[in-house]
């Protein structure tokens, strides 16, 4: 059996947990290879951490599973024609198209989510609509070969769903135990419907500072969209 090729494309200002969480899980899959790549193999800085020795995205020949992380850099990445061309190229030949957080906006901007259900970070879900996507508020959403995780930490849940798909539920459970993935958050404030009105208002005010730019970028990307599938 051929080795399963998993590709995680990075871009400036990506959120590192969006890909390091899934990477930690997916790299344990048997008979698989996870390649983390960027344009030109450039180093990527994410929230103060620098990721180096990356593959050149344009030189990655193909993948079976494309996993696109999100982050504040999504705004610029959606309009980066060279980067988006590589996402379309790799995604068109992939068996699975996946994302975490606002990575789904990049899949949408590539033309993969028209008429498809997709998850996204709660603050940015509505930006999927101009691309013809169907917003799904689930922590992990599936529509055929498209599997998307919601906000940042949903990447771990997504990864275990993916492992169960590829290697079976028993293996996924074994891996879950080996990594002691047993989340028990100290506060019930991880979703807008759980947070207090005061906390929700504070977070919305912070995120709203970049809302106009991201909304404009999403609309611009949607206006020039040519469906990839």
Crossing angle for the helix pair 154-167 and 169-178, to the nearest 10 degrees: 140
- pLDDT at residue 210 in the model: 83
Task: Check whether 228 has a pLDDT greater than 90.
Answer: no
Choice among 63, 67, 101, 120 that is catalytic:
101
Task: Check whether 154 has a pLDDT greater than 70.
Answer: yes
Question: Residue 226: which pLDDT band, with cuts at 50, 70 and 90?
Answer: low
Mean pLDDT of the chain: 96
Distance CA 124, CA 228 (A): 22
- Whole-model pTM: value is 0.95
CB 82 within 8 A of CB 74: no
List, as own/partner pairs, every contact residues 157-162 make where C-beta atoms lie below 8 angstroms and the sequence separation is at least 24, other chains included: 158/22, 158/98, 158/100, 159/21, 159/22, 159/24, 159/25, 159/26, 160/25, 162/22, 162/25, 162/26, 162/65, 162/96, 162/98
- Residues 169-178 have a mean pLDDT of 98
What CA–CA distances, in Å, run from 1 to 30, 62, 188? Answer: 11, 16, 44
The percent of residues above 70 in pLDDT, for the chain, comes to 98
pLDDT digits (tens, 9 = 90+) for 9-64: 999 999 999 999 999 999 999 999 999 999 999 999 999 999 999 999 999 999 99
- Residues 189-200 have a mean pLDDT of 95
Residue 27 falls in the annotated catalytic set: no
Question: Residue 227: which pLDDT band, with cuts at 50, 70 and 90?
Answer: low
- pLDDT at residue 225 in the model: 81
Place of tokens 């207090």: 196
């Amino acid at each position: 059996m051929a080795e399963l090729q998993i590709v995680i494309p990075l871009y400036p200002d990506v959120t590192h947990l969006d890909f390091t969480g899934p990477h930690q899980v997916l790299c344990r899959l048997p008979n698989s290879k996870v390649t983390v790549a960027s344009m030109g193999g450039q180093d990527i800085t994410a929230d103060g951490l620098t990721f180096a020795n990356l593959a050149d995205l344009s030189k990655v020949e193909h993948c079976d599973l494309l996993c696109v992380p999100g982050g504040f850099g999504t705004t610029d990445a959606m309009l980066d024609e060279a980067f988006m061309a590589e996402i379309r190229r790799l995604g068109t030949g992939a068996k699975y198209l996946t994302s975490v957080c606002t990575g789904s906006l990049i899949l949408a901007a590539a033309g993969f989510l028209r008429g498809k259900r997709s998850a996204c970070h709660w603050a940015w879900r509505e930006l999927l609509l101009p691309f013809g996507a169907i917003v799904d508020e689930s922590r992990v959403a599936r529509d055929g070969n498209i599997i998307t995780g919601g906000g940042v930490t949903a990447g771990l849940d997504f990864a275990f769903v993916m492992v169960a798909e590829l290697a079976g539920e028993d293996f996924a459970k074994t891996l879950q135990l080996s990594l002691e993935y047993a989340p028990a958050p100290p506060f019930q404030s991880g979703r807008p419907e759980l947070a207090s009105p005061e906390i929700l208002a504070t977070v919305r005010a912070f995120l709203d500072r970049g809302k106009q730019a991201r909304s404009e970028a999403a609309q611009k990307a949607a206006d020039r969209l040519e469906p990839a599938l």
